[in-house]
Amino acid sequence: MFTNQQITDLPQHKSIVFEPLADKALLHAQLNWLLFFIPFCLVLAAVCYFNTDFAAMAQGYLLVAVPLLILLCTLYSVFSIKLQGSALRTHDIAFKKGIIWQQVTILPLARVQHIEIHRGPIERKLGLASLRLYSAGGMSADLQISGLTHEKCKNIRQFVQSYRHDETASEAAASEC
């Protein structure tokens, strides 16, 4: 006879101890914002230069709105980076992010099929990297952690690969019995 017992003792994700991102992760985020705002301000300046009617009408608003937008984006990146964290545990990897809507993603290591380490030019200069973990059946990364040191990404990749190797070895030994 089939029975389906109620599970009452689930592990709590709130008890996970998350490690903060690398020290240079905030600098990386702010440099990315800077790379957005420089062309944005140049385009805005060109529009104002070539369209004097728009410039006369919007000058006061732009002098207030653009610095305010830059300040808000800077504050957002500071709080966002400070609240992010990752945790590598025996059987899974967890990542938390979010300011208002906080999200914790936990990916079991047994489900990981593929791992990528991504490094853009700014990340290479700062010694940072992004880790992308893929599970079976997906085209996009199930878990992406940006702002880790390149060394930490390599260590996590090695840990996950050795976990998969240990798991397949134990499954092979169990099937032989």
How far apart CA 14 and CA 31 sit, in angstroms, is 32
Residue 4 maps to a domain: no
Answer yes or no: do 72 and 109 share one domain: no
Confirm if 94 and 18 have CB atoms less than 8 A apart: yes
Answer yes or no: do 38 and 94 share one domain: no
Residue 14 maps to a domain: no
Q: Band of the pLDDT at 140, cuts 50, 70, 90?
A: confident
Answer yes or no: do 60 and 110 share one domain: no
Q: Which long-range contacts (CB under 8 A, 24 or more apart) does 70-77 make?
A: 70/33, 70/37, 73/33, 73/37, 74/30, 74/33, 77/26, 77/29, 77/30, 77/33
**104-133 per-position pLDDT tens digit:** 999 999 889 999 999 999 999 999 999 999
Answer yes or no: do 67 and 118 share one domain: no
Residue 115 maps to a domain: yes
User: What is the CATH number for 105?
Assistant: 2.30.29
Show which of 81, 101, 129 is a domain's final residue: 81
Average model confidence (pLDDT) across the chain: 89
Q: Which residues contact 12 (CB under 8 A, 6 or more apart)?
A: none
What residues make up the domain containing 119?
A: 86-172
Q: Band of the pLDDT at 150, cuts 50, 70, 90?
A: very high
Answer yes or no: do 34 and 91 share one domain: no
**19-61 per-position pLDDT tens digit:** 999 999 999 999 999 999 999 999 999 999 999 999 899 888 9
Residue 12 maps to a domain: no
Residue 167 maps to a domain: yes
Residue 141 has pLDDT above 90, yes or no: no
Show which of 38, 58, 81 is a domain's final residue: 81
